[in-house]
Amino acid sequence: MSRSQAGPPLPRSVVLIDGEHYPPVTARAIAALRAEGEDPVAALLVGGGEKLGQVPLEVGVPVTAFADPESALAGLVELIHATGARRVLDLSDEPVLGYTERCRMASVALWSGAAYIGADFSFTPPDRSLRPAAPSVAVIGTGKRTGKTAIAGTAARTWRDAGLNPVVVAMGRGGPPEPEVIDAGTQLDAATLLGFLEAGRHAASDYIEDALTARVATVGAWRAGGGLAGAMAYSNFPRALAVAEDLKPGLLVLEGSGAAIPPSAFDAGVLVADAGIDPEHLCGYFGLYRLLLADLVVLTMCEETLDRSQLAAVERCARRRPLSHPKVVCTVFRPHPLADVSGKRIWFGTTAIERAGPSLKQHLESTYGCDVVAVSHDLARRDALRGDLEAQASPGGVDALVVELKAAAVDVVTRWGMERGIEVIYVDNRPETVGGDGPLEELLLEVARSAKERFGL
């Protein structure tokens, strides 16, 4: 933690200590921090009692004690706010704070606006100083392929139907070099998207998918790199946000990318997580940071084939978040073709996991009156996808290729179908509520109301 040369005093800091250290040793370390220019104003005892009771717990700053790291999480937030500290200095060690516990402490510190610094690590709060000029909701994910874009599209459509005039800002690793607007109601079909592709554009970027499925105005942005707490290395998001604000939205929908989080403040948050996630990854490490940003947690892919104990563990984890209790909703995705498929023999391409295949096939056939000839789960694997098309979707054998809008849906499936004269129809993956605190659409309206209230409307 030492600095190589003296400089101006650093902001106030809270020091994490444990009872495994002999108190005089901790006191010496805090004195050393002060000599290096730190300004420790309080200490938080996060657990451990091996050396306590033998000498007074006097370490040079007031000490707030907790019996274990879990109960200390809320105490850290209170101490940061009470002291105005902007740095949390970790002088603890194994076994009191292990890897997961330290990341949970770091998540709480960053969420509270404080850096988290230890002997050989330093985490800085992502910059959220940019403030949108309209009420805003961030839709973020725990990672790629959680269904975040489908949930963002559902949210935008729900808020559109409620008269809130949403505008989506979506950033992606294939986003446009300059912010690009797609107006509400723009015609987007297979020929249009293939034209985008042939013009050198990423024809399945998230903002295009949002415009296709939600029929609202969207603004596309690019981003590169991603940090543990969702920051990005580079992005043109600020310019895209300014473009979106010029459209006079009633509500801004700020869509994350993978595990990356929009680099701005926002008034409310929706976190999307695959119900099959390891609970430790949702509630530990920097999953907790994302949970702390959420008013609503949407668990996706809660299929009947999912182990019920797994789902219960993930839901329990989301509800046990420290400091507050977000609403939780359990959902499954069901394909909604964006053109008529009744009476047609179709090939269906999806990124959904294999266990969802039978349910997706049954839903398409029973709801839309089509005959699903084959289901390919290889939409994210181009070579396998081409093989599936050749083996399962020969001209004359199917009437239409029905596919989710992903990159390979355009550069492989759309091109393959149009070259052979087979109709290509895109689908919207629409969530259906199967458990939790209420219907997803009602919970999304609650989130929007919260965002407007916090914005001051």
Burial label for 420, CB within 10 Å (0-12, 13-18, 19+), is middle
Q: Where are the beta strands (DSSP E) in 301-417?
A: 327-337, 345-349, 371-376, 400-404
What's the token pair of residue 9? Answer: 């005093």
Q: Cβ contacts of residue 43 below 8 Å, gap of 6+?
A: 14, 15, 16, 17, 26, 30, 59, 61, 62, 63, 64
Q: Which of 304, 310, 312 is closest to 334 using CA atoms?
A: 304
Quote the tokens at residue 259. 């595990």
- Residue 1 is predicted with a pLDDT of 64
Residue 354: per-residue pLDDT: 83
- Model pLDDT, residue 291: 94
| Per-residue confidence in pLDDT tens, the chain, 457 aa | 654 445 677 899 999 999 888 889 999 999 999 999 999 999 999 988 766 666 568 889 999 988 788 888 999 999 999 999 999 999 999 888 988 899 999 999 999 999 999 999 999 999 999 999 999 999 999 998 899 999 999 999 999 999 999 999 999 998 899 999 999 988 898 899 988 888 888 888 899 999 999 999 999 999 999 999 999 999 999 999 999 999 999 999 999 999 999 999 999 999 999 999 999 899 889 999 999 999 999 999 998 878 889 999 999 989 887 777 899 999 999 999 999 999 999 999 998 888 788 889 999 999 999 999 999 999 989 999 999 999 999 888 999 999 999 889 999 999 999 999 999 999 999 999 999 999 999 999 999 999 999 999 8
Domains 136-333+433-455 and 335-429 share a fold: yes
Domain 136-333+433-455 has CATH 3.40.50.300: yes
CATH of span 335-429:
3.40.50.2300
- The pLDDT of residue 222: 95
pLDDT at 359 (0 to 100): 87
What are the CA-CA distances from residue 320 to residues 111, 251, 312, 314, 414 (Å)?
Answer: 17, 29, 12, 10, 44
What fold does the segment set 12-123 form as a domain? Rossmann fold (3.40.50)
Residue for token digits 């219960």? 312
Identify residue 12 by its one-letter amino acid code.
Answer: R
Give me the pLDDT at residue 199, please: 84
Tens of pLDDT, residue by residue over 195-215, are 888 888 888 889 999 999 999
The model's pTM: 0.91
Q: What is the pLDDT of residue 4?
A: 42
pLDDT tens, residue by residue, 85-109? 999 999 999 888 988 899 999 999 9
Q: What is the reported pLDDT for 32?
A: 94
pLDDT at 200: 81
- Summarised one tens digit per residue, pLDDT across range 179-197 is 999 999 888 988 999 888 8
Residue ranges covered by each domain of the chain: 12-123, 136-333+433-455, 335-429
Q: How far is CA 211 from CA 154, 168, 169, 208, 218, in A?
A: 11, 9, 11, 5, 6
